[in-house]
Amino acid sequence: MWVSAGLVQINVVLGNKKANMQRIRTLVAGVFNRQIILLPELWNTGFDLARAQELAEDLEGESVGFMTTLAREKSSFVGGSILRRHGSSVFNTFVLVNAKGIVATYDKVHLFKLMQEDIYLTPGQAFTTVDLGFAKAGLAVCYDLRFPEMFRYYTDQQVHIILLVAQWPTARYMHWDTLTRARAIENQCFVLACNRVGGETHNAFNGDSVAIDPWGVILARGNREESVVAMEMNLGHIKVARTRFPVLLDQRKDLYQRNAP
C-alpha cells in the first residue's frame, strides 16, 4: 500500500503563534492528497521556555484547533508538538489529529538538558503508538532519536512508520543524518522526520526533513529553506526488507534482559 506525506519546514518565530500559523497556511496552500502532514517540534512557539507557563495551552486550545482545521481542509492526519499545560506542569506534547480531532498524544520522554527542557518541562512517562487505519505509527520528538531502545519498543509493537518532529540544530546535522537513517535500518521501518529551518539567538536549524525507507534509502529530503517536503512510501517494502534480511528474528532478548543493569 502506498502512503503519501508532507513534512512542513518553517522558520519558527519565537513565541508568535499567529505568525507561525500563517506561515504554515501559506506553505500548505498547494498541498493536496497527503495522508500525513507533519509540523516541526514546538511549531507554534519555538523554544521560548522561559515563557512556557504563559504560552502553554490545553488540548482544547487554539493550536490544536488550528491543526484540526488544517486536517479537515487537507483530509489528512496532522502532527506536531506544542507546549501543553496540565495542572501546574508543562509538557512538550506531540499531538496527532485528523478531521474529527485528536487521535493520539505523546509527551516527550527524553528532555534535552542543553535546551533547559528539564528545568521548564515535565517528562512524559510512556511511549505512544497509534493505528492510522492504513498503518501503525510510533510518535517521537527530537532528542528521542538518540535512544534506540524507544524505537526497538515500537518495532516490537509492530509499528510501520516512525513519526518524528524536531528542532535539530545545524551544529549536529551529521548526527541527524546518521541517526534517522540508523533508526530506519535497524528497525526495518519507515521514518518520517520533520525539522525546522531558520534560527534563533543561539541556534541555527538545518531543516533537511527526511523520509527514509526500511533499507535506509532516502525517499525525499528537504534543504535549508521553508518548504513542504513531499513523498510517497510503499508499505509493502517493510515485509520485503524483513523477509530478505530477517535480522529482527535473530535478536537475543533473553540475554538483553538478563544483562540489563
> What order do you get walking across the sheet with 210-212 strand by strand?
129-131, 136-141, 161-166, 190-195, 210-212, 218-221
Residue 80 burial (10 A CB sphere; 0-12, 13-18, 19+): buried
What are 227's strand-pairing partners?
A: 9
- Judge whether 149 counts as a catalytic residue: no
Could you say which of 17, 57, 74, 108 is catalytic? 108
Q: H-helix or E-strand containing 165?
A: strand 161-166
Per the structure block, which three cell numbers stand in for 233?
512510501
Dihedral of CA 222/231/219/64: which sign?
Answer: positive
- Judge whether 189 counts as a catalytic residue: no
- Judge whether 41 counts as a catalytic residue: yes
Locus of grid cell 506561515: 23
Could you say which of 17, 41, 194, 226 is catalytic? 41
Per the structure block, which three cell numbers stand in for 11?
522558520
Could you say which of 57, 142, 189, 226 is catalytic? 142
Q: Report the C-alpha gap between 241 and 189 in whole angstroms.
A: 9
Catalytic residue positions? 41, 108, 142
